[in-house]
Amino acid sequence: MLTPSPQAILFDLDGTLVDTAPDLAAATNALRAHHGLAPLSFQDIRGQVSNGGSALVTLALGIQSGSDEHDEARQYLLDAYEQAVAVHSKLFAPLDEWLTVWQKEARQWGIVTNKPRRYTLPLLDALSLSPGALLCADDLSVKKPAPEPLWEAAKRLGVSPEKCWYIGDHVRDIQAAKAAGMTAVAVGYGYISEEDDYQSWPADLWFATCDELVAALHGHRHT
């Protein structure tokens, strides 16, 4: 691989590092049930998870953002999610094994997510994850695809942006990484809708599976 070996690895959270879709799907279907509707299939919900709570409300109820009804539904969904933020969520395998080795070697890593801190911290606590840098949606005045959260994460790790990999499952992750001057890594195993093609994103590296990503990360461990 011609891509520079990273001194630090930064991850998007949902759909990249942690499989949170089962718990978000449960919250989405709780909203449906609250409105007397039958549950949606897990696969239908999974493809929208990376687009956030508003997209899940639109999927669940057909209500577009910008109305009081939508805002109330979104709050209901988020409240349901907050009550069960880490029931079924877990690290994608084999990233869990890789991360254990990476941390034992005292290597740098962090998370930059558009998930609010209110939901992120309980999730990380439940999974016993302690990133060296954590940037959430409400930490700065801007969020991805703006590069500032990625720059701040690199700064907190004491690593220059060009020596970081940023890994994500949404085009905004890749846009943020490129704008930040980091190696942009797109993964195809995350929460990608059927009409989206992750291989069309302007990344530096693309991995279809988590196993392929981890093999590449292991290949850079000792360089």
User: Per the structure block, which two tokens stand in for 51?
Assistant: 């687009």
Whole-number pLDDT of residue 86: 96
Catalytic machinery residues:
12, 14
In which element (H, E) is residue 19 found?
strand 18-19
Closest CA to 165 of 204, 131, 218: 204
Residues 6+ apart with CB under 8 A from 145: 171, 172, 173, 175, 176, 179
Grade residue 208 by pLDDT with cuts at 50, 70 and 90.
very high
Per residue in 137-162, pLDDT (tens digit) is 999 999 999 999 999 999 999 999 99
CATH number of 8-20+89-219: 3.40.50.1000
Whole-number pLDDT of residue 3: 66
Angle at 5 between CA 206 and CA 148, to 5 degrees: 75
User: Per the structure block, which two tokens stand in for 170?
Assistant: 């949404």
Residues 6+ apart with CB under 8 A from 76: 30, 31, 34
Whole-number pLDDT of residue 223: 43
Using DSSP bridges, classify how beta strands 183-187 and 205-207 pair: parallel, antiparallel or unpaired. Answer: parallel
User: How is the chain split into domains, by residue range?
Assistant: 8-20+89-219, 21-82
Sign of CA dihedral 122, 123, 127, 133: negative
Taking residues 2-14, what's their average pLDDT?
Answer: 87
Whole-model pTM?
0.94
Residue where the block lists tokens 């070697």: 105
What is the distance, to the nearest Å, from the Cα of residue 111 to the centroid of all Cα atoms in its chain? 8
User: Per the structure block, which two tokens stand in for 111?
Assistant: 């998370």
Burial of 84 (0-12, 13-18, 19+ CB in 10 A): middle
